[in-house]
Structures are given as C-alpha cells and as structure tokens.
Amino acid sequence: MTIYHSVTELIGRTPLIQLHKLDTGPCSLFLKLENQNPGGSIKDRVALSMINEAERTGQLQPGGTIIEATAGNTGLGLALIAAQKGYSLILVVPDKMSREKIFHLRALGAQVVLTRSDVNKGHPAYYQDYARRLANELPGAFYIDQFNNEANPLAHRTTTAPELFEQLDGRIDAIVVGVGSGGTLGGLQAWFAEHSPHTEFVLADPAGSVLADQVETGRYHDAGSWLVEGIGEDFIPPLAHIEGVNRAWRISDREAFTTARELLKTEGILAGSSSGTLLAAALKYCQAQTIPKRVVTFACDSGNKYLSKMFNDDWMRQQGLITCPQAGDLSDYIALRHDEGATVTAAPDDTLSTVLARMRLYDISQLPVLENGKVVGIIDEWDLLRHIGGDGDRFALPVTAAMTRQVEFLDKRAPESALHAIFDRGLVAVINDNDRFLGLITRSDVLTAWRYRLQQ
C-alpha cells in the first residue's frame, strides 16, 4: 500500500461506481465519488489548484491571508490546504449554509463571516461583493475569487476529466453537472472538446436558479430561491461556458433532497444536496433516452454535512419538504409528534442538568414532563434560569423542583382560536387525543404551518 505524507496528496483519483438499484432507463449511470476527497467534496481539487497557482505567480506570499466567498465546499477545501500551508483564511458565506459546514470550517481554523442569502449580486451584503470589499480593506489579503480564477477550471481540465476518461475506457456519452462557480463545467468541457467531442453536457439546475433559463432561451430574469447548497446562481458565471450546454433539467428542493436520501437507502452512498440535484437530473436524462448511453454524474460532497437538515425528518417537515396526511384538526400543527417518537421529553426524576443537555442537543427551549405516558408538567429555559439562580449545585435537582405544573391541555378537536388564547399568555399548548398525548404546539409551529400552507 502507498504511504502518503500530506493530506493534500489524497486529493483526486476518486472512485467511480455504477448505480444498479435506481431506474436508469436503457442507460448505464456512473457516479464519481468526489465525496471521498479528504475535505469531503469535489472542491478540494479547485482549492489546491488555486492556491498552488497563486503561490507560483507570487500572488500569495508565505503567511498571507486568503479571502473567499463560498457556499461551503470551496471554503472547506481552502481551509484544509491553508491549515497545511500556514495561511490565514477568512470566508464569507451565505447564512443558509448547514451548521456542520460552519463547525468544520471553524475547526480547521478559518474565520467565518456570515452574510445574507436572500440578496442578489450588487447588494453590499451579497457574499461575493462582501468578500471582495473585505479583501480591498485588509492590507496584504488575497481574494482568491473562485468565480473568476482560471485555476478553478484548470483543476478539472487536468485531473477530473482525464480520470473519468480513463475509468470508463473513453466511452462517455453524457456528463451531468451542476454550476456554482462554473469551474467543473468549464474545465470538463475544455478537455472533452479535444479528446471526446461527441460527449454531451447536461445541466442540473436547482429550481429558482437562472442557469437553466439561459441554456433554454439564451436569456434569464430574476432568480428565485432554493435550499440546495453549492450550485445554482442568480447570474451566469464566466467560467462555466454555459453556451456549450444544450440540455438542462430544473430540479426542485424536494426532488433533490428526496433523491439524495434514496441514494443512501438504495446504494449506501451518503451524498449532499447538490448531489441529489445532479442525480435527479441524471435519472431524468437516462429515462428519456431511447437507446443505451453511458452517463456520468458526481457525488459532489458528503452528506455528513447535511445530517441536521436534509437527512433530518423534522427539518424536512418544517421546510414543507415532507408532508404528513392532514387530519383537519389541531394535530396538523404539531411539528414533533409523540406517537412518531419525535417528541423530546423529560421524566420527573431527571436532573436539571439532563434537561439542559437535551435542550442544547436538540435545539429546543422546552420539554414536556411525562409520567406513565401522561404530561404532568412543562419545563423550559426560564424555569431552569429561575431555579438554578447561579448556583451550579442546583443542576442536580430533579425536574419536579423546577417544572411548571400549570399545563394548558387542548383536545385535538378544539378550534384553532383556542391556541391563540394560550399563546397570549406566553404558554405552549399540549395536544391530546382524548387522554393520549400527541405533542406540543408552539407559536413557531403555527407560523411554519401557515407559511407552507400558503406556498402549497
């Protein structure tokens, strides 16, 4: 076995797997596992290429500071390599990025600056404009600018493309790609135009992005919004050379997330949200063919960065991406159903320390206290604050010492107006079906239900 001497030597040469358990029509569909790179994504290739080129040209000096705008994966690649090479790194990222990515970036030593994800290019809070402004203000900083850096597509022209060609013995009819910075598409196109000009490029685009419009009509209007991270844009990245694409598929967030979850269940591959978009488009392309073709797409990054979001049923329900059958009563507002095992609860003899740990672990602010399946109280952060009172020893007290016994019960058949009276008193509603506990309803739960009822 080969012994490596730096994690950067592990970038690239990723495996290729043929998918057999999904409906690929008459085609053979192959998935290149870029999630096997050491930073967990295809962007490791880009980060290494851009830093190496900046060093070669003298734009990046020893001990310098790199600044970049990123939706996450380029930042992780840059952080991995910057830590190895001794560079400081400041990353400006949109606030829709998953917590796992942010934690990972900070653990690698990067400074993370969050900015708004609901604004477009030209707004001062737009992540690329913000990063460029920051680089201009900080003496000696180097804005690596993946969106305009020719070393970005160079990474794919010199590594990804020839790897694919070799792995499939030069027989590739179509490659399905997404576009974020445009480097993957631009780099692959450049190499395949020379070595396999018959290979077709197919765009997988999040619904709301403008890129599919550009492919189909040659123009685009204002962008919408989407939850998929890392691909889709509100402008045409110059590195993408989108004019070389003549087929595009728009993929909704729901379909992207569902497809990525299905990939894990059927093929055992844990891949991220952009991978779900690419795979959904690749499956549509394959199923639309009338003759066998050899088609390639990518597992762009690892799904372990999305465990709190895309692979979390509760988050998917809150986003309206998983829908439960509607009963037409108050149970429709319950976000975490007790009969589905989703409610986080406390027992009367649990310690206050245990309760606080559960609140922090599950990112909630109150727990129902259950005894023999019945709700006997509610404990929230204010109860803990009031009873601990700065005395750490009181964390050993049982829940019964701090919980509120005045519980507002409602039968699921009660009118919605009954919730408002409870919320007016700053309380939460405990919903029962006769004597059976179903779950809690908070003001946030009602607002979430209303929002997604409107969208549907």
Active-site amino acid positions? 43
Q: Rounded to whole angstroms, what are the CA distances from 191 to 156, 157, 158, 163, 165?
A: 8, 5, 8, 11, 10
Per DSSP, 435 falls in state T
Close Cβ partners of 230 (under 8 Å, ≥ 6 residues apart):
71, 72, 73, 178, 180, 272, 273, 274, 300, 301
Q: How far apart are CA 30 and CA 38, in angstroms?
A: 21
Q: Which residues contact 97 (CB under 8 A, 6 or more apart)?
A: 71, 72, 114, 229
Judged by DSSP in three states, 136 sits in helix
- Classify residue 412 by its DSSP letter: T
C-alpha closest to that of 300 among 387, 176, 123: 176
Q: Phi-psi region for residue 220, left (φ > 0), alpha (ψ -120 to 50) or beta?
A: beta
Report residue 327: phi and psi, to 5°. Answer: -95, -15
| Distance, CA of 328 to CA of 95 (rounded, Å) | 35
Q: State the DSSP string of 64-80.
A: -EEEEE-SSHHHHHHHH
Residue pair 263/24 in contact by the 8 Å Cβ criterion: no
Q: Are 281 and 247 contacting, i.e. CB atoms less than 8 angstroms apart? A: no
List helix spans (H) across 307-409.
313-318, 352-362, 381-388
SS (H, E, C) 247-263: EEEEECHHHHHHHHHHH
The Cα 229–Cα 227 span in angstroms is 6
